[in-house]
Each structure stands twice: as C-alpha cells, then as structure tokens.
Structure 1
Amino acid sequence: MSIGLNNVALNFEDGVTRFIACRPGETVADASYRLGINIPLDCRDGACGTCRVHCESGRFDPGHYIEDALSDEEAAQGYGLACQMRPETDLVLAVAASSEVCKTRAAALKGRVASVRRLSDTTFGLSVETEEPVGFLPGQYVNIAVPGSAQARSYSFSSAPGSARAEFLIRNIPGGLMSTFLSEGAREGDDLDLTGPSGSFYLREIRRPVLMLAGGTGLAPFLSMLGKLAETGSDQPIHLVYGVTHDADLVETDALEDAAAKIPGFSFETCVASSESRHPKRGYVTEHLADAHLHGGDVDTYLCGPPAMVDAVRRTFAERALSPASFHFEKFAASGAGGVA
C-alpha cells in the first residue's frame, strides 16, 4: 500500500469483505465507486442518510451532514456517512447491505501449494503461496476449491494479514475431500483457487480485556489474531483457553509460546477432554474459565469451535449469570462445508 493511502475493509451483511484504498482527502463513497463497489447512496451531500455505515475500528473525519441524516447519538455510537467520511487511519466498516446489492462479490484468488505439514494424526498445516499478500481481517476465512472436485471447503487463516504466505489448520477427516487431497494428492506447486475473504468473526478494536476460546482446529483464527497483535501490541490483558479431545490433537503450542513472549499481557492454557489424557489440565474448555479471566463480564469474548462447544459456553455463561460485553463466535461443521473447519 502506498504512503498516504488508508485501507478500508467493507463488511457486507452476507459476510463478504472487500478492501478499498482511500486516497488522501477521498471519501469512502468516492473510493468505493471508483473501484466499482456501489454502496447504497442517494445523495452526496450528507442529507439522506442512505449511506450510513458503522465504524468498528479506526478513526475518520465525519465531514458535514444534517441531523436528519445522522443524529448525534448515532455519531457517538460510531456511525458515519460514507459520502462524507474521510479515513484518518485504516478502517473496518459494516455496510447495511449485501455484496450483491452493492454489485460486488468475494474476490477470486489464485494460489499454489507451498507445503503440507502433518501436525498430528488429526491436523494438517497447509501453506499457500499467492501472487500477492491476501487482504483479510484476522479471524476471517476463505473458501478453497478442492482440486479434482466441484466442491470447496472453508478454512480460517492461521497466518496474520499481509503475510507472504497464507497458512491454514485443516482437520484430517478420513474420507474427506480436502483431507484425501492433502494426504494423497497434494504436491508443491499445485494450483489452488480461493474465494474470499469472508466472515463476521474477526478481531475488533481492543478496548477492554479479551477472552479467546478455541476448540480443535478452531485455534486457527486465533493464531491469525495473535500474529496481528504481535505487530500492533495491546494494552489490555488477553487470555486464550485452547481445548482438544485427545493429547495428540494439541498442535501449534510453540506458536502460542512465541505469541506469549511477543505480546505483553497475553497468556494461554490448554486442556484435553479425554479421561485417558495425561495432560495437566483435563476436561472441557468450560471447566477452565477462571473468574480472573472473565473480569465480571467486562470482557470481549471470542469463541471458535464445534457447535456443541459454542452451546456449552453459552450455557456456562448463563449458569454463572455472566453476560460478556461482547460475544463473537464461529461454529464449524465436521465436513468443512458451510462453515469453518
């Protein structure tokens, strides 16, 4: 990105994210239309309010508008008008429309297999080399077409945005399309078609303590978030609880140790559910939610894991009469279809 440009992530209601670059002094609306993304717009004078968006991260000059278009209360909540707002930093904006309505779609990306690592009997590490660094928000996923089939699978990035290679954690499912390709057919240099990024599960601007809960390969998006935080830092405590079923399922703990060394205030613990485990901490993630990391509810909670884990965490919060300041979650299906796996 050239000096003077601000990168803006437009998150649409259908989960598609597109990135635009705003030139100095350029409004978000002007930059969007210049790149062929037709966000809702009925005027360019700050009078109708049609282009109202919500800023989830970053700062901007709100420009000029009338109160009928945007109230003081809405402005205080982080809303702005795309036809008037000029980014002062990189932004993440929620657009109240689908990508289809805005005449755009998820980006089609070309990649090649750089390496396939067998991290355990249950997990592959896939490294993909792309023509240029892929833009995404830490925590988001991409759809990868399975070579030799007409199907695609969705996987969260485990690498930080802007990395030279895109990294993924992929569960080894016996007989699964992607698992079979990775274990039997994948070769360095094989072409891959990717579509994305997508998803509303991503790291927001950190304003309070953060609790991260990962189940199995649901660790992937957190590795991406931690990679970003290693670059930007944080002045809030961040704690991760990572749970798996069997001892052999624990992977990438060295990456977590590295993150703990680089990110002030970050800590983590691991647990294993199997009763036959020899791990120091046994049981489910819900059994290892210490009061010290819940901050009486003044905590932003991020959870990625199978549906049963998401439901169990919700029940645990209800039983403890705890309502986190925010609760962001991603469920994934075993097949990887229709969700993140």
Structure 2
Amino acid sequence: MADHFPLKLVGSRMLAPSVRHLEFTRDDGQALDFIPGQFIQVHFNYPDGTPTKRSYSLATQHDHAFGVNDSVEIAVSFVPGGAASALFTALDDGQQIQCSGPYGRFCLNDKDQNARYILIATGTGVTPYRAMLPQLKQLMDSRGVEVVLLFGARSEEDLIYREDFYKFAEDNPKFRFMPSFSRKLPENPTADARTGYVQEQLAELAPNGAHDIAYLCGNPNMVDACFEALKEFGLSVHHIRREKYVSSK
C-alpha cells in the first residue's frame, strides 16, 4: 500500500513561462524512497469540498555525486482555471500539501541488455528523465550504454531543465541531448538542435529493434505517433515503454 505523507515547500523557481519547479521536504521526518521514473499524487479538495488528486512525476536526483539531498522535486504546468494550478499558485514556502506514493513502473529495468536508450518527451514529460540521470550515468559507465534524449518543445524557453541536460551531455559523451523545436530554433542552436516534431526526427536516429529500447512520455498524440513509428522501425511492444500526460482542471 502506498505511503501517505505531508510535504513542505522549501523553494521554487520558474522553468518556463507556464511551468514551475517546486522543491519540498517530507514534513514527517522520513525520506521518500522511490525509483526514478515514478510519480506521487497530490491530494486536495475542490472549492466545494469534493476531494481530488493530481499526479506529478518526480524530478529528484537522489545521488550524492550530483550534490543533491533528500528533497522531493516536481514540475507543475499551470492550466488556466485549473484547481491544482490555484493550489500551487497560493502555496508559499513553509506551507504543506498532502501526498501519497510513490507509484508507477515507468522506470529503467536493471535486466535490460540493450545498447541504446532512446528517451522521448514533450513538455513536463521530460521530468522523469531528469530523475534518471544518475542511474543513466551508472549504466553508461558500467556497460557502455548510449542514451539519446529527444525533447520536443515550441521554443527554447519551453525547454525545461535544459541546463541540466546540456551539462550532462557535456560531461558524458555517451549521452546525446537532441532538442526539437516546433516553432523556432534558438538564436545560437547546438549542433543537435532540430526543427519540427519529435516523431519527425526518429529516422535520423535509425531505431533498431535488435539493440534499442525507447521511452515515451508526454503529450498523448506524440506518444501514440512515436509508438507506431517505432514499431515500424522494428521495436517490439515490450521495448517501447509509455506514459501519457493529460492536463486536468
């Protein structure tokens, strides 16, 4: 049974015009034991008192080599008129929210023997990949796995956690960060920046069913389009792991 616990806000910052990074600590003195790729649920009430909940992938990197502590970090997209958006907008440092978890199986499998991971995301769907970075580094160092992160956004300002991914790519030659911009390229794009939707970039990566495993997270239309394309490239359903993000009011 999932654990229920209070979280206290200790800091926040804007990642994009409509996405906020929130950092919490558990307010019961316990640590949150989770696997990168999992999510928590935030429990609250609508104005009429009806209980509801929202799910948020954990962005936390629990690895002392990365200089992080036992914080609980999430990225929240603000939806106009959304009840959860109103909750987080009104939340100040030191205040509590009630949560449960962790949940989910959108995680790396230690039994995988693939040569490459293709990680694909749009919007806040990239959040679980940030949490996976320490684990990916271990896999790259221990068995030489290559990793491509293909991240779709409208423009550079919507490319959340970009500093983390650019730095990780700089420090780890086996990690390729490939942003794909649907509206416009940045003024000084990297060599791996592309224009168009993420599914349009798959041919360049030449997915191979013999040695690739893909993860898809974000907009449901993107997830469905990439899923069908990857099957055509020869990836089995077992080697295409999916999580869809649907905005709720």
Pair member with larger Rg: 1
Conserved in 1, the CA contact under 8 Å of 2:220 and 2:246?
yes
Matched with 2:31 is: 133
- Measured in 1, the distance between the counterparts of 2:224 and 2:122 equals 12
Alignment of 1:125-274 (within 5 A): 125-130=21-26, 131-146=29-44, 150-161=51-62, 163-183=69-89, 185-205=90-110, 206-208=112-114, 209-230=116-137, 233-234=140-141, 235-274=144-183
- Measured in 1, the distance between the counterparts of 2:210 and 2:218 equals 21
Percent of counterpart pairs with the same letter? 25
Cα distance, 1:245 vs. partner? 2.9
Cα distance, 1:264 vs. partner? 4.7
- Measured in 1, the distance between the counterparts of 2:201 and 2:46 equals 43
- Deviations for 1:118-140, whole angstroms, at most 9, x for unmatched residues? 22212110111123321111101
Alignment gaps of 5+ in structure 1: 1-104, 337-341
**Bigger fraction of residues in helix:** 2
Moved more, 322-331 or 209-218: 322-331
User: What is the letter of the counterpart of residue 272 of structure 1?
Assistant: F
Q: TM-score if structure 2 supplies the norm length? A: 0.83
Alignment of 1:309-324 (within 5 A): 309-318=222-231, 320-324=232-236
Q: Within the alignment, does 1:124 sit opposite 2:20 as a pair?
A: yes
Where relative contact order (Cα < 8 A, 6+ residues apart) is larger, the structure is 2
Conserved in 2, the CA contact under 8 Å of 1:108 and 1:193?
yes
- Measured in 1, the distance between the counterparts of 2:107 and 2:226 equals 19
- Measured in 2, the distance between the counterparts of 1:314 and 1:217 equals 19
Query: What root-mean-square deviation, in Å, do the aligned CA atoms of Structure 1 and Structure 2 show?
Result: 2.2
- Deviations for 1:107-166, whole angstroms, at most 9, x for unmatched residues? 112210111212221211011112332111110100012477632210000112464211
- Measured in 2, the distance between the counterparts of 1:246 and 1:182 equals 25
Alignment gaps of 5+ in structure 2: 64-68, 187-192
Cα distance, 1:293 vs. partner? 5.4
Conserved in 2, the CA contact under 8 Å of 1:303 and 1:329?
yes
Q: TM-score if structure 1 supplies the norm length? A: 0.62
- Measured in 2, the distance between the counterparts of 1:152 and 1:296 equals 38
Q: Which stretches of structure 1, 4 residues or more, deviate above 3 A after TM superposition?
A: 146-149, 230-234, 261-264, 290-293
Q: What number of residue pairs does the alignment pair up?
A: 228
CA pair 190-246 structure 1, distance change in 2 beyond 3 A: same
